């Protein structure tokens, strides 16, 4: 049986860009497992504790529109909605990464679900393997300015066509993905471990030398991207990974938590 609901009440204006007026209650707030059998349904039915996960099918990176700095997203949002933010901000980050460029992307209503599908899927025969992949998921999530509160290996996505009741938006696919092998993930994590700042800065900024420095923006400054830090000449000096993410993420105390 289906019934019609009317739009959710007040939500953050930046998250409420395309609110539907009516939607089918059957699909409201369903979730999709990225583990085990990939079941879809109400969150209380499909969510699994870490200890219950025996197979990993995909990794989720959650980029919440409300957590990104207005200076990064607002102009695109006003001109072309969430698709424009995806095309102009998110997609260039993904395209620079050998792993992330293969990911599926869904607009979840409040932000973007970047889903890195695995083929073959990873089977866990014990706690040791599950813990190892749990750490790998965390490393992959740290490649982007994503929601730091997003669950790791237990994360759920929202199925395409379902409704996010926080904003009345239908979840839609922005890009179809293709799977990567577990070996590709492990190899890339090794590259990131050896040069965390270098890999992430190049992926976000698109270059290893930026004029002026994106942090201090001092005239005639220059940021050189090294493997573990950045060096700003003629400006703010040493730049760490957290400084890099601060360029994109709003300060925590000012951000409204919308979740996935």
Binding site for Zn ion (CB under 5 A): 213, 215-216, 221, 232, 235-236
**Nearest to Zn ion of 106, 215 (CB atom):** 215
Minimal distance, residue 218 CB to Zn ion, in Å? 6
**Nearest to Zn ion of 31, 215 (CB atom):** 215
**Nearest to Zn ion of 180, 205 (CB atom):** 205
3-state secondary structure of 55: strand
Sheet holding 209-210, edge to edge: 209-210, 222-225, 230-233, 237-239
Minimal distance, residue 200 CB to Zn ion, in Å? 17
**Nearest to Zn ion of 160, 236 (CB atom):** 236
Minimal distance, residue 89 CB to Zn ion, in Å? 21
Element (H, E) at 205: helix 196-205
Minimal distance, residue 207 CB to Zn ion, in Å? 15
Provide the 8-state DSSP code for 73: H
> How many Å apart are CA 205 and CA 209, to the nearest integer?
9
**Nearest to Zn ion of 177, 235 (CB atom):** 235
Minimal distance, residue 235 CB to Zn ion, in Å? 3
3-state secondary structure of 240: coil
- Write the burial class of residue 14 (CB in 10 Å: 0-12 exposed, 13-18 middle, 19+ buried): buried
180 in Cβ contact with 99 (< 8 Å): yes
Minimal distance, residue 106 CB to Zn ion, in Å? 35
Nearest Cα neighbor of 113 from 13, 42, 34 is 34
**Nearest to Zn ion of 139, 216 (CB atom):** 216
Backbone angles phi, psi at 113, to 5 degrees: -100, 110
- Write the burial class of residue 201 (CB in 10 Å: 0-12 exposed, 13-18 middle, 19+ buried): buried
């Amino acid at each position: 049986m289906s019934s019609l609901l009317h739009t959710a009440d007040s939500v953050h204006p930046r998250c409420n860009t395309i609110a539907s007026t009516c939607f089918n209650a059957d699909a409201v707030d369903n979730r999709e497992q990225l583990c085990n059998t990939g079941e879809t349904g109400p969150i209380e039915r499909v969510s699994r504790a870490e200890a219950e996960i025996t197979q990993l099918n995909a990794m989720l990176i959650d980029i919440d529109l409300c957590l990104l700095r207005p200076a990064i997203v607002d102009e695109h949002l006003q001109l072309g909605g969430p698709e424009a933010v995806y095309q102009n901000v998110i997609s260039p980050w993904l395209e620079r990464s050998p792993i992330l460029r293969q990911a599926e992307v869904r607009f979840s209503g409040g932000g973007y679900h970047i889903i890195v599908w695995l083929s073959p899927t990873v089977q866990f025969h014990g706690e040791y393997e599950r813990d190892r992949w749990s750490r790998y998921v965390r490393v992959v999530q740290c490649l982007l300015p994503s929601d730091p509160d997003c669950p790791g290996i237990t994360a759920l996505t929202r199925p395409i066509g379902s409704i996010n009741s926080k904003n009345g938006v239908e979840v839609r696919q922005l890009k179809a993905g293709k799977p990567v092998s577990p070996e590709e993930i492990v190899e890339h994590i090794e590259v990131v471990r050896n040069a965390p700042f270098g890999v992430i800065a190049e992926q976000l900024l698109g270059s290893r030398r930026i004029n002026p420095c994106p942090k201090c923006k001092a005239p005639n400054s220059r940021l050189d991207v090294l493997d573990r830090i950045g060096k700003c000449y003629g400006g703010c000096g040493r730049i760490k990974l957290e400084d890099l993410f601060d360029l994109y993420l709003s300060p925590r105390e000012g951000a409204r938590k919308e979740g996935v």
